[in-house]
Structure formats: structure tokens, C-alpha cells
Structure 1
């Protein structure tokens, strides 16, 4: 059986006023049937470009992409029928209500008499009371729910989610992941890009990381977590850290996080704080998470000039 999605040495170069810009460099990976797969990377890493090539919205400069054995260029009709894509941007037709929008989307894929599934989508995504509302009347979060419903209306075996929870409230995030996780358990393949790394850690079985168009990591989520520093010392302070400590710390407002491989290194950090006259507040020690791994991988793949 072919992979659900296969990227084979995919490169993409754009012509710009400053000369050619290579957005993707020889990206190769396979996503298996029924897998929940995460694609991570900083802004500009090439994630959306890769998904645009998968969806047929852009053409690869080199390489090929297969969807369940169908080439996205040579056999585009069959390839696109296998996909349900939720884009980053809020794109909608202002002349139709929610139910009409989903019926029209069903028609694009030749699906008739689809009201039962549309009703289930509306219920599962909290849109039942908005079924007759015009798309222009919906909030940004509700529009995002409709985009998800549109992507799923033809029951695609492969679901592609490009930053689906960007700028949405906690309720929608929980509703969406509950529904998508249910579909994944039913056999649907899911490809997710997100900047919420806790989502990727909780949901994805395998993860690929991109940086500057190159794949810098590809592994099972559990294996990636094993590569991280085993512990993190977390505390709060209003005082500036000593330079040597600040160089390795992750600081968010008053919250400081320092990698620590063992108890001796934790004690070393605390001793350095005491010597600097800093009294940390709310001290705790936690296991490293996917965000720690992500920063470690991205830092390890930063050229010296860029790091400087």
C-alpha cells in the first residue's frame, strides 16, 4: 500500500526582484495511512509552501508529491479528491449562509444528498445555531470552524490543517481537537502545522521540523523528547540574570527557564543565582517538552553568522 502522502525530493524556487529564492530544499518524507503527523518550523521555514504544493496551489520546481499514489500534478483530480485542506487564511463567500456554503462545497466534489453529514459537522463543530447565518455575520472563530467543516464535507481520507487554531479561543481549540482526534481514530490521516507546540506534542505520533526550507528533524514525538535535556529549572524574577546564565536561559516576562541535565546542574544554577543576589520565586523543576526540543534543534541548525 502506498503512503498516504509522499514528498520526494521536493524543492521550490521563487523568482524575486533580488534574484532566485529557494523556499524548499530537497524535502523528502512519507506520511503513513492513519498517522497524525506534525510539520513544525519557524515563520518562513517553508511549511505553507510545502502544503500549497501538496494541495496543487503551487508547483514544485523539482521533485514530486504523491497522495495515495496519485501525483498531485499528473493526476491532480484524484489527488485532490483525497485531501481536505484547512488554510491559514480566512477565505469565505459572503453571499451564502453556512449550510449553503457546505452544500456548495459538497457539489465541488460531486457529493449528493450530504445533509446528514453536514448536520453532523455542524453539531460537532458547534455551528448548529449558525447554520442559517450569513458568512459575513460570523466572528473570526466561527469562520474558522466553517473552514474546517468545508475541508471535511466530502469525507477526505487525508486532512491537512495549516495553523487551524491560530487566533481562536480555547473552546474552539478543544472542540476541534476532540473532533479531529476522533476522525484520526477512525482511520483518517492528519497532517498538522502549528506554532502551539503543546498541541503537536499531545496529538502527533511523528514530527518533522523545517528551517529555511530544509528538513532538520524527522522522528517519532517520543524519540524527539528523549533527545532533550532531561529537566528544566523554572522560576520567576524581576532581576536581570548574570550574563553567562542569561545566554542559556529562555525568558518570558518574569518567567525564566534554564536547561538542567541533572541535579548537580540544578544546584549549580541555584548557587549562581544566590551569588548574584537573586532570590527566585515559584521555583519548580519540570521535564523537558517539545518546545525545548524545538529550540534545541533550531539552535543547532543555525549558521554561526545567523546566530551572531
Structure 2
């Protein structure tokens, strides 16, 4: 007696979908619930400031005059400039708001490029194996061994090529950060692929004549990317720090091309000794709050997706 089983019946069940933020809050409890709420609020404020920067900022990020009158240099916060002005006479509040837009563009571009490169390479390496796996693992391990900021600096120097336009500067910074993230996605997806490529639903797909590409992206991909949301969120925070580090060291985006928090912090260093605090504290506060928000969201997602922690939390609440 034989029993016919279709490939679809052997596939792993798909999780129920819902609004990510709401579902995450509903699945949380106690302190973790407040952590995810605060994190989501900080991330939402960051995204809103980035998207609506031209409407929120009273001036352009490089504007130093209005109505034919130059702004005062290093002026303290006032009604005209609520965050004061910089050493170049720019409105600090406008630069902070436009800095959020620059950061968001770099984060999105670098994460999209990292996923588009790292995930397919990880799938192919883990599933095909042999010499392809050995070469890719060796190359990715070599990249992963580099200090992340040093690797980003080297790639930024190579890619920049004297680009001074806003898009060119953002793209070169995003590519530099992509070089840091690709090995992480490769390693996670490759290890997960190695563990699931012998599962029954993969064998069934192979027996029915499915090609390698179909098996990778139709049957394996959905079952090896459960941890990617956590990595993406935490990498967003790391991208902010790396971008700020590049700008602080002078390898980031040109100041005339886009506003960038790390560059503003570098230019504000001499102001601190003179008691001029506003040129450094507001860009620094932007970095801290965004990184804090993304980290809180990432850690909450990690705890929610971890079955051990989720079971332990439910048991504690019931008790």
C-alpha cells in the first residue's frame, strides 16, 4: 500500500501574518512590552523626521542666510534657531533633521544591498556545497575577520572616487557599510541552509524534478530567514554607528552634499572647550536615540521569536 504525499504537504507551515508592530506588542508582556513600545516610538519619530525633513526643518541643511541676512555663527539656541547655529552659521536643528534623512537612506540602501547579496550567496553555498562552499566561506570569513569600521573605511575610500553629489555620497557610504553586513547574512543563511537541505520537503521537491533555483527560493528560503528580522533591526543600529564613525573620521558624505551627524560631531569638537554645547549635543543625541530605539526593537523581536524565552515569560505571568 503506497501513500502519495505532495510537496506542499511536506512544507513547513507558514506563520500567521499581521501588522508587525501590533503583533509584536501583543505577544509581549511586562517590561518587555514597554521596551518594544518605546523602541517603536523612537524608530517612528526617526522615520517621520527623515521622510518629512523638508517640511519639518525651517531651513536647508547647508543654508547660512535668510532674506539676505547671514545667520550668526555659533549662536545659542533661541526662537529663531531652536538648536542654535554651527561654526559655519548653519541651523543645527535643520542639520539634525536632514541628518535623519541621510541616515535612513544609507540604512535602507545598505540593508537592501546586503540582503540581495548575502542571502542568495548563503543559499547557494549551503545547498550546493563542494568547492563553491569552500571558496565563499573562506572569502566571507576573511571579510568578517576585519574590524567593521576599518573595513568600511577601506571600502569607502575605494568606492568614493571623488563623488560629491548627494546620491553619490550616500551610495558610496551605503556600499561601504554593505561590505560589513554581507558576511553576517551569508553566515546565518548558509548555516541554516545546511541544516534544512536534508529535510523531507526538500527531498520531495528534488524527487519531483524541481530545479536548484526553485528549491532554494521556493522551499528553503522561507524556512531559513526567521532570524533575519532581528539581524536587520540590529544592523540598522550598527549602520548608524558605522556611518557616524565614517563621518567623524572624515570618510563619510561631503558636508555640501548631505547633512550627516558624525561629520557635525567632528566639527563640533573645538566648540566643547569653549562652552558651546549645542553644536555637539543635538547630533550626538540623534545618534543615541536612534540606535537605542532600533536596539530595543531588535532585542524585543529576538525575545519574542525565541521559543524558550517566550515559554518562560508566559509561565512566569501565569504563576
TM-score using structure 1 length? 0.23
Return the structure number with greater strand share: 1
Highest CA radius of gyration, 1 or 2? 2
Structure 2 length-normalised TM:
0.23
